[in-house]
Structure 1
Amino acid sequence: MLDKHIIDFNESLIGLRDFVELIDPFLNDKVEEHDQHVRPLVASALLKELLSEHSEWKEGEKEKFIAMQEKIQSQIDSKYSEETEVIFEKEESDDKKVKSFSIKIKSNDDTIADHISNVKKANKHISLLYTNSLISLLSNVEWFFSQILHYYYDQHPESAGVQKRTLTLKDLKTFGSVEDAEKYLIDVKIDEVLRGNFESWTSLLKEELGLGLGYLKEIMDELIEIYQRRNLFVHNGGVVNSIYISKVKEILRKDIQVGDKLIVEKQYLENSICKLQKAFILIGSELWKKLSPEDENRGEILGNIIYENLLHSRWDISEGLCYFSLNDSKINPVDKTIAQINYWLCKKELGQYSQISKEIKNIDYSDKKEIFQLGLFAIRSETEKIIELLPVVLESKQTNVERIEEFPILREFRNTPEYKEFKENSKFFKEENKEVITVDTTEK
């Protein structure tokens, strides 16, 4: 079922994020452990270069930098037994502008060499973590894409064009039935699709599966760049080739030329995960809607994915999934109301409140449950009304204090003095924090 595929895909990306977050601090601690010994050497070299090259100084400024450099150098001399020389080298362009610079450290002290070597090693490990995570991300995407294609073609084999394909007699003898042969041809078809580029995937989704994919329009260029960058790491050691240059929009490859070696930074990786998570969950959801328009589970499953992303302030992903839910006529009214409130929250957090302010101002939730009214008041930042409703919501058990403390939509409200006062005086929080004291009455 497509619901299971979507859940599994979402969980695989959560797992990828968790893995990076688990390993990344450890590697960065390793860098810092050794970098703190190298940093003074670099600072000394940069200050020497500044003092030799710079000619215009404000009163007392040069003396300040000289004192700073001498202090750092004194620390270096007292720390290392062998004489240490730090050389600043720069490469200039034809117009005498600095293109690049490097710092070389010459020393007979093995301690310095070890620290420099360990910094390089740890930085390489960090680079490998991000690069391999990007490759793993695209592997997860390809797996999910193949799963939804299998799901669709198993129901609509004629769309795969298997009737027009031929098999040899030798091939036919290996199959136990016509159904087995049909499955084989579908596998061949999907394998061919996966070997294509990202643009061919979207063409197939539109032309053969009949999907609209309107939600991909704004991020299509970014998705192509992510896909092409992954290809560089898998097939070309991360070195830019003419294929990358021809496929990627110029605005996304500014100052990148053939022969340059690309890297994957943490922010780039996180952005890639977010873009692909949003795009392919929407692709899976649109196909699900096309094949099973009456299935109400869609709203609940998307709602759970949205909430998980709201907790981590991934507003863009949540906004896209909320918008899809709002335009799904078969989603349960309760799920749709939740999607509406969360959509407004995403717009507000993305700095787009002006787009919804009129709607927010005029909407009336008086006919809805208090928990939904609470969400609306939170969007409007109406603190007094939230305080008024909180006891009602908690008394009627529409939610509990744990969720009040967790709801992303109440994050702003939780920082107000009114909320702090409410917590101090509310019986609900007192009951929650009440300690159970047990007395051991066993005779000794």
Structure 2
Amino acid sequence: MSDDPDDSKVVKESPRVRALRHLYYSYLQFTESVEAIRDLALHSHTSEGVNIPRKAVFREAVRKWNTDDSEEIIDEIYSQLIRRVAQEAEELLARVEQGDLENIPSGPMAMVQPILASLVEELSQCDAGPWNWDIAWRKTIDRKSRKEALFSSLLVSAASAFEIQVGDAIRCHLRAIPQAVESSEKQYSYADVAKFCNLEAFKNASIEDRVESVMRKDVSSWFDWTNKKFGVNISDVSGYGDEIVEAFLRRNLIVHNGGVVNDIYLSKTPRKVARNDDFKIVVDQQYVLSVIDWLQAAGTALVVRVFDKLGSADESSAVIQDGLLTEVSYELLLAKRYGAVIDLADCVQGCAKAADTALILKVNRWIALKETGKLESIRSDISNWDVSAASMRFVLAKHALLDEHDEAESILKTLLSTRQLSQSHWQTWPLLENLRRYVKEKELKSASATCASGGNALTSTRCGDDEEEVVGTVAD
């Protein structure tokens, strides 16, 4: 027997399969990145010193040059300034409403400066002029809180992770379809080609050049390219296309203009924003969490659609595609990220390879809608859902969605006893939350009734225990 391997038995990956495998690996990295960013956003309140009070900022700014006044005096100047400015603003508003526009300050600082100067003269022992106090006040009102700076940074990071994922999807298409590279509009000289050791190296460099040229543009242009080349537009991967475009415009403002709105933003944003030279975009925790949901659902849908376009003839690609859909949808559901569950399900309709995968996505979508108070809008769809040929798990899902607890409990006992549903799944499946509550209440009532009737010695002893001890398993 020869020691040489039989080359005829070696399964070689096609360019499509290899490209899809790399895309899947990059998607895993994308998911890890956005999940880490989300964790930071969720736990920002636990970080020490993340939000410094403005009074402390003012005190710190004054202390750099004022050593004569005590901290109590500086704090008193700040507190009285805040009160008097608020009072002055109310009086000015009343005058404006009455049509009295004489001697109206030209701006916020024009109103603050005389009040601050009066307080300094009245309370301060420092000989420094009013200019230093004005600077301290400007630093106070212009300084972002650390929390605001954190959320701005997290927005930039989330947008960057999505940008990398889009670039990888484009790279996957070009690697999978060599003709897409060969039809490149860019012309190369003989000297350009001669730099490479072989055509494969030249092709890879051409792909990277093409990806870079696309990704230099804005997010709308990325999806114009993907729509033209493989039929996937931003509306195919997200129901929040306008919001994603606006999020990237905010990212650009943060990176290139300190967050201050400019003409580029105003000309491209889908939002209606009034022109104001001092207007800065606001990035808070809720906004960052929303953007992460939009981008994670969109990134997932994009990868699934690329798999759907390129891997239709490959069985392993179909398994990965369906596995990705069910796993991500369920993980989002467990995290109670219902908007992302709904958006993902809406954007990947028709992409599931197996019938059960399509049903899982539909059920998860219904669960998310129910959890957001929209059960009545889908009740008829659930009631008319024909599960006669479906597995018992889907029959259970239908009854649980409609809160038909007695029917659901009966099916649940069968699934648990036949090990078609694990105890851990019974305890954690979001679909069964109401059923778990129903079973618990039912068992507690039964235990209470036993106690009331006297019961045996063992039962009477247990009636005084914690309620968890009298709640058995529904499989018993």
Match of 1:375 among 379, 397, 407: 397
Q: Tell me: higher relative CO, structure 1 or 2? Use CA pairs within 8 A at least 6 residues apart.
A: 2
The one-letter amino acid paired with 1:229 is R
1:57 corresponds to: none
Q: How far off is 1:339 after superposition?
A: 1.7
1:189 corresponds to: 210
1:318 corresponds to: 341
CA change 1:254–1:82 in 2 (3 A) is: closer
- Whether contact under 8 Å (1:309, 1:317) holds in the other structure is yes
TM-score (norm 2): 0.69
1:158 corresponds to: 179
Distance of 1:205 and 1:156 partners within structure 2? 14
Q: How does 1:265-276 map to 2 (within 5 A)?
A: 265-276=284-295
Q: How far off is 1:267 after superposition?
A: 1.0
- Whether contact under 8 Å (1:306, 1:321) holds in the other structure is yes
Q: How does 1:82-121 map to 2 (within 5 A)?
A: 84-85=76-77, 86-87=80-81, 88-89=84-85, 90-91=88-89, 92=92, 96=96
Q: CA RMSD in A?
A: 3.7
Match of 1:335 among 331, 334, 357: 357
Distance of 1:328 and 1:30 partners within structure 2? 43
Distance of 1:277 and 1:122 partners within structure 2? 31
- Whether contact under 8 Å (1:219, 1:275) holds in the other structure is yes
Which structure has greater strand proportion?
A: 1
- Whether contact under 8 Å (1:223, 1:276) holds in the other structure is yes
- Deviates further, 357-366 or 120-129: 120-129
- Whether contact under 8 Å (2:417, 2:475) holds in the other structure is no
- Whether contact under 8 Å (1:30, 1:122) holds in the other structure is no
Q: What is the SS of the residue equivalent to 1:302?
A: helix
Match of 1:210 among 197, 217, 231: 231
CA change 1:277–1:426 in 2 (3 A) is: same
**Which consecutive residues of structure 1, in runs of 5 or more, have no partner in the other structure?**
39-78, 110-115, 432-444
Q: Cα deviations across residues 267-289 of structure 1 (Å, max 9, x unaligned)?
A: 11111111111222212211110
Q: How far off is 1:368 after superposition?
A: 3.4
- Whether contact under 8 Å (2:266, 2:273) holds in the other structure is no
The one-letter amino acid paired with 1:302 is L
Q: How far off is 1:340 after superposition?
A: 2.2
Q: How far off is 1:193 after superposition?
A: 0.8
CA change 1:262–1:324 in 2 (3 A) is: closer
The one-letter amino acid paired with 1:84 is E
Distance of 2:238 and 2:416 partners within structure 1? 43
Matched, 1:145 2:166: yes
1:402 corresponds to: 424
Match of 1:305 among 305, 316, 328: 328
Q: What is the SS of the residue equivalent to 1:84?
A: helix
CA change 1:419–1:174 in 2 (3 A) is: farther
CA change 1:362–1:418 in 2 (3 A) is: farther
1:413 corresponds to: 435
1:293 corresponds to: 312
- Deviates further, 222-231 or 153-162: 153-162
- Whether contact under 8 Å (1:131, 1:264) holds in the other structure is yes
If you compute each CA radius of gyration, which structure gives the higher value, 1 or 2? 2
Q: How far off is 1:329 after superposition?
A: 5.4
Q: How far off is 1:418 after superposition?
A: 4.8
- Whether contact under 8 Å (1:318, 1:343) holds in the other structure is yes
Match of 2:147 among 116, 126, 130: 126
Q: How far off is 1:140 after superposition?
A: 0.5
Count of aligned pairs between the two proteins: 381
Percentage identity across paired residues of the two chains:
22
Q: What is the SS of the residue equivalent to 1:96?
A: helix
Distance of 2:47 and 2:305 partners within structure 1? 40
The one-letter amino acid paired with 1:270 is L
